[in-house]
Amino acid sequence: MQITVEAKPFAALETEALVSYVFEESDPIQGRIAEIDPAANSLLRNLAKSGEVTGKVLEMTLIHAPAWLKAARLLLVGAGKREKFDSAALRKISGAALRYLKSRGVHKFVFAVREGNATEDSAQAIAEGLLAADFESDKYKTEKKNDKSIDSVQLAGYSAAERAAAEKGLARGTVIGESQNFARDLINEPSNKLTPRILAQKAEAMARQAGLTVEILDEKKITDLKMGALLSVSQGGPEPPRVIVVTYTPANAKPGTPVLGLIGKAVTFDTGGISIKPADGMEKMKYDMAGGATMLGAMRALAALKPNVKVICVVPATENMPGGTAQKPGDIQTAMSGKTIEVLNTDAEGRLILADAVHYAKQLGATHLVDAATLTGAIVVALASINVGVFGGADQSWTDKVLASAKAAGEKMWQMPMDDEYREYIKGTVADIQNIGSGKGGGSITGAWFIREFAGDTPWVHLDIAGTAWNDDAKPWLAKGPTGVALRTLVELALSY
Ligand code: BES
Ligand code: ZN
Ligand code: ZN
């Protein structure tokens, strides 16, 4: 799909469909939309008067062959209340419009921003919305639905003077949208097509193409480094683990400046191990590598957007299998940091592999950490699929920075409590620490506290994306399946340095 900026007056554009949006207010037909209305014999205002066009969020009004336009169709999308309208809404509207038109066989359309919205940010949001909405994997279908595709979209409503800003926003949004889809492609892969070794190969290929430094640690190196927590998870099956390390170094890198560490859980399949999961729904555990994929996607975007900060990405990759060599409940493992862990539940494996990855990221020089992981079912209970769970360490200013980036990127995140009392739940009886809480409830918090033990005093934020990384039902603006959530926040975080 090609997205370009078109500075011509949009009423004069020849296209299969002209798309714009109307607000939910007493008269939704205002401004630029009203300007094209006189020629339409007040058709639009009459539709509004009759209640067919209200401006309610995602309401779709499709008008065929409007004689007063060069376009073959006019699509008006409801944008909701004007006061609540922001770039997140624009992202959704543009995505929903794309999916609406795509399903109707349209191949090319013009998306026109309204007066006051012709900014760099809006162009970025629209590009992100369009690219995310266009993603639909039919990779493993032998019959492709090739007739249903969007080939090109023109962004209109920008004046000649606004064009440069629009193009800048579009370029940035395209990089971010494509990187998000890169992550979603990885997340979609089933576990037989994406083992830890294959994930490492794909990460390496991406990094080389993007001009990033990459190192893949194999099982020998992992053993030499004494990553006992990661190895305890991978020992349950024949697939060897990998640790993927991708580094971005800015051109003017100065020693002594902050280094961002991005750590992502990549369990390419989570059976639960000996603490095995129920069969029902287990197939979904192919997405237990979404945190790692999201971090790799973020690195892909950062390579192109070139932030001013060094970024080290560490992705521990393994399967969690219940083979004859698997670790068993009660086993005691020694993490790379030297801490001993009593593994009370082999299904709480994400925190084990993150323990070593977080420790290693610090050793490589990361001074500020963010990890993303499909860590707990408990976060789904707490926040459903609406908000990412955010857990911070002692440095609230670092958590605030991540939350501010999420707000700017239009990703919903909610900070969870991390009182010291929760830490008591994971204090070990026979080892230093145990991998599940002894108290009832608070499962996502004890999971976060476990990782925090390895982050130590280094500013750290944990994102639990178990509820938000996978869309169970298609939305008007997004297909069913992987979402790539948190990527935009992480890119924004790095760029805001
Ligand atoms: N990968 C799961 C968490 C998960 C659950 C992700 C649902 C996506 C959807 C994780 O490894 C896990 O099994 N966690 C356990 C922890 C428990 C044993 C303390 C859980 O949440 O049940
Ligand atoms: Zn698990
Ligand atoms: Zn898991």
Please give the pLDDT value at position 238: 98
Residue 249: closest CA among 280, 210, 216, 277: 210
Average pLDDT over the chain reads 96
What is the per-residue pLDDT across 323-347, written as a single tens digit (0 to 9) for each? 999 999 999 999 999 999 999 999 9
**Atom nearest to 447 CA in ligand 1:** 19
**What mean pLDDT comes out for the span 131-149?**
88
Amino acid at 100: Y
Q: Quick check: is 139 catalytic? A: no
Closest residue CA from atom 7 of ligand 1: 377
Which ligand 1 atom is at minimum distance from the Cα of 378?
21
* Nearest atom, ligand 1, residue 446 CA: 19
The CATH superfamily label for domain 2-141+151-158 reads Leucine Aminopeptidase, subunit E, domain 1 (3.40.220.10)
Residue ranges of alpha helices (H) inside 135-194 are 163-188
pLDDT tens digits along 240-266: 999 999 999 999 888 899 999 999 999
Distance CA 360, CA 247 (A): 13
- Asked if 284 contacts 482 with a C-beta cutoff of 8 angstroms, the reply is no
Residue having the nearest C-alpha atom to atom 5 of ligand 1? 377
Summarize the confidence of residues 68-91 as an average pLDDT. 95
Q: Does the annotation mark 423 as catalytic?
A: no
Ligand nearest to the CA of 284: 1
Q: What is the pLDDT of residue 477?
A: 98
- Tokens for 203, please give them: 């990460």
Q: Which residues line ligand 1 (CB under 6 A)?
A: 270, 288, 345, 347-350, 374-378, 380, 436, 443, 466
- CATH H-level, domain 190-495: superfamily: Zn peptidases (3.40.630.10)
Cβ contact 398:457 at 8 Å: no
Asked if 292 contacts 341 with a C-beta cutoff of 8 angstroms, the reply is no
Q: How confident is the model at residue 389 (pLDDT cuts 50, 70, 90)?
A: very high
For the chain, what is the radius of gyration of the CA atoms? 24
174-184 burial by CB neighbour count: b if 16+ within 10 A, else e?
A: bbbbbbbbbbb
- Of the candidates 277, 412, 423, 475, the residue annotated as catalytic is 277
The tens digit of pLDDT for each residue in 195-230 reads: 999 999 999 999 999 999 999 999 999 999 999 999
Q: Residue 227 Cα, ligand 1 centroid: separation in angstroms?
A: 22
Q: What is the pLDDT of residue 137?
A: 82
Domain ranges of the chain: 2-141+151-158, 190-495
| Residue to mutate (ligand 1; options 287, 347, 381, 465; most atoms within 8 A of CB) | 347
Q: What is the number of the ligand closest to the CA of 385?
A: 1
Q: Of 313, 487, 464, which Cα lies nearest the Cα of 406?
A: 487
Catalytic annotation, pick one of 91, 351, 401, 488: 351
Strand pairing category for 413-415 and 340-343: unpaired
Strand ranges for 393-434 from DSSP E: 413-415, 433-434
- What's the token pair of residue 55? 């401006």
440 Cβ contact partners less than 8 Å away, ≥ 6 residues apart: none
pLDDT of residue 8: 86
